[in-house]
Amino acid sequence: MAHWILTPRSSSLQCRAFISIAFTPVLLTVLSGAPLCAQTSCAQTSLPDAPSSALISQQGQQSGSQQEPSSQSDLGTNTKPQINSAPQSGSGTVAVPDQAPSQQDKQDDSKGKQTKRMVWVIPNFGAVSANTQLPPMSTHEKFVLAARDSVLDYSSYTWAAILAGQAMLLNSYPELGHGAAGYGRYYWRTFTDGVSGTFFTEAIVPSIAHEDPRYYTMGQGGFFRRSGYAISRAFVTKTDSGRTRFSFSEVVGNGLEAGLSNAYYPPEERGLRQTATNWGTQMESAVLNHIFQEFWPDIRRKVFRQK
């Protein structure tokens, strides 16, 4: 999975900042609204019946026609069905509740609807909408997905530029220097981290292990249940045959990326301990990415009011 939140060499403080920014609106909008009651429509339909019966009685009095008590009683019985017709019209308005579930069904279908991008910028090509079953991906399709999430998408370049600038301002690697030349050294290393991590976790390891690199949205249940599901997807994945097992794509793929970064970072930033730290940071990035993917449909629908 493309880790757009962090790169292996990024500071873990960004994780906590991202949580506070991304999930504040989610926590405020978890509860859904109650369905509308159809009694209002019933009351509205019953109002025309009373004036209509009064109008009939006024016309009968103005016509001066002689009506026997039996006919008046007939008129009374005629008004009673009209009064009772309110439940009939109410039963007619049962069509409103009949329509309401259909609209609710449409809303339910849109709850787990994913888009190609999150917040209109972040690539989300590997997210699958809730209640959606897709055929297994071929090796070619997995490499195409990795390319779309990295070298073929403009956000990879802009995000690498932001992280590189931040790392240089914090003087994360003094060996890389400062100025335009130093920023260039920061930039190409940060960009290489993102591209290699994406290809390892979305194309290379998934092709070898026959795993599906896409994220399948749960879309239903409570906040903690869905959060737990999203976190588990960093360690459990779906295979090409449809089974569920340990995710070699994320765990091993991020380890390979962390090990590869030793080849182009300064000697002071290499070694087993630094590699383990980088792997943990990348796994943390994968977890946060999955959580944001899981709740992005809710944020888009409730916060940004998009269907």
Task: Kindly report, residue by residue over 40-82, the tens digit of the pLDDT.
Answer: 333 333 334 434 444 344 444 444 444 444 444 343 334 444 4
Helix H or strand E encompassing 137? none
Q: How far is CA 24 from CA 27, 46, 242, in A?
A: 5, 45, 34
DSSP string covering 91-111 = HHTTHHHHHHHHHHHHHHHHH
**What are the helix and strand counts (H, E) for the chain?**
13, 7
pTM value is: 0.68
Tell me the per-residue pLDDT of 129-183, one tens digit each, with 9 for 90 and over.
Answer: 999 999 999 999 999 999 999 999 999 999 999 999 999 999 999 999 999 999 9
Strand blocks (E) in 228-302: 236-239, 244-246
What is the C-alpha separation between 134 and 226, in angstroms, rounded?
21
